[in-house]
Amino acid sequence: GIQVEQSPPDLILQEGANSTLRCNFSDSVNNLQWFHQNPWGQLINLFYIPSGTKQNGRLSATTVATERYSLLYISSSQTTDSGVYFCAVERSGGTSYGKLTFGQGTILTVHP
Amino acid sequence: GAGVSQSPRYKVAKRGQDVALRCDPISGHVSLFWYQQALGQGPEFLTYFQNEAQLDKSGLPSDRFFAERPEGSVSTLKIQRTQQEDSAVYLCATVQRKPFASGRTDTQYFGPGTRLTVL
């Protein structure tokens, strides 16, 4: 199956700092999503981004499908950004129906 | 309530008990997925429904796991004779449309999950 690797595994920031999270994947993808899992366990959609660049407030994401990676940028971080960030992909081809394969996540801690 | 809902939010079971976990999808969403998330890990795929048809159950870890979606809306994940290794968070996700002819799929929206602890 497709491999998804996220880096760094852990990230500690002071409030106001910027950060970049990376997701590498081993095969072509139909679907790539970034999620934030809050301390209560809820997976919150950040971006649906199988290719290209999107921005939403302080967050932006870029996927370079031909090079098999995606980046999530967080600017001016806030304590509420703390949690686990997951990248999830669906391999293209075959009949995966949208089945997502998740990376191991990046644990982000933002200190005041 | 516009989101995916799941119940119960927490379930404690004694080893050997049967449990049933419920997922209420966003109204009208065609596709429904179940995932299992062990502590400290990313979610892993269990099974997929398109309307009432279970099209992929390749991720179910054993024949003790059974899922259904009889009317193409609410889904239930049942675990028989629970074991300690079944302890995890069980997540449900839904998608508005079935996959496009190109193979591209749409955004998945996740419920809050059910945390199952087997003693």
Which residue among B41, B43, B56 places its CB closest to the CB of A97? Answer: B56
Cα B55 to its chain centre, rounded Å, is: 14
Residue B91: pLDDT band by 50, 70, 90 thresholds? very high
What are A87-110's pLDDT values in tens digits?
999 988 766 678 899 999 999 999
What are A13-36's pLDDT values in tens digits?
999 999 999 999 999 998 999 999
Which residue among A42, A90, A102 places its CB closest to the CB of B105? Answer: A90
Using the Cβ of A89 and the Cβ atoms of chain B, whether some distance falls under 8 Å is answered with: no
Residue A44 has pLDDT above 80, yes or no: yes
Is there a domain that residue A112 lies in?
Answer: no
Q: What is the CATH number of the domain that holds A99?
A: 2.60.40.10
Domain count, chain A: 1
Using the Cβ of B109 and the Cβ atoms of chain A, whether some distance falls under 8 Å is answered with: yes
Is there a domain that residue B115 lies in?
Answer: no
How much is the pLDDT for B76? Answer: 98
Tokens, residue B96:
């508005």
Q: What is the CATH number of the domain that holds B42?
A: 2.60.40.10
Average pLDDT of the residues in B24-30: 94
DSSP string, chain B: --S-EEE-SEEEE-TT--EEEEEEPPTT--EEEEEEE-TTS--EEEEEEETTEEEE-TT--STTEEEE-TTSS-EEEEESS--GGG-EEEEEEEESSPPPTTS-----EE---EEEEE-
How much is the pLDDT for A18? Answer: 97
Residue B80 has pLDDT above 90, yes or no: yes
Domain count, chain B: 1
Find the domain containing B98 and state its range: 5-110
Is there a domain that residue B118 lies in?
Answer: no
**Which residue, among B82, B40, B43, B74, has the nearest Cα to B59 in the 3D structure?**
B43
Residue B88: pLDDT band by 50, 70, 90 thresholds? very high
Residue B1 has pLDDT above 70, yes or no: no
What are A50-91's pLDDT values in tens digits?
999 999 999 999 999 999 999 999 999 999 999 999 999 998
Is there a domain that residue B36 lies in?
Answer: yes
Find the domain containing A19 and state its range: 4-107
**Which residue, among B39, B47, A25, B91, has the nearest Cα to A34 in the 3D structure?**
A25
* Min Cα–Cα distance to chain B from A42, Å: 5
Is there a domain that residue B117 lies in?
Answer: no
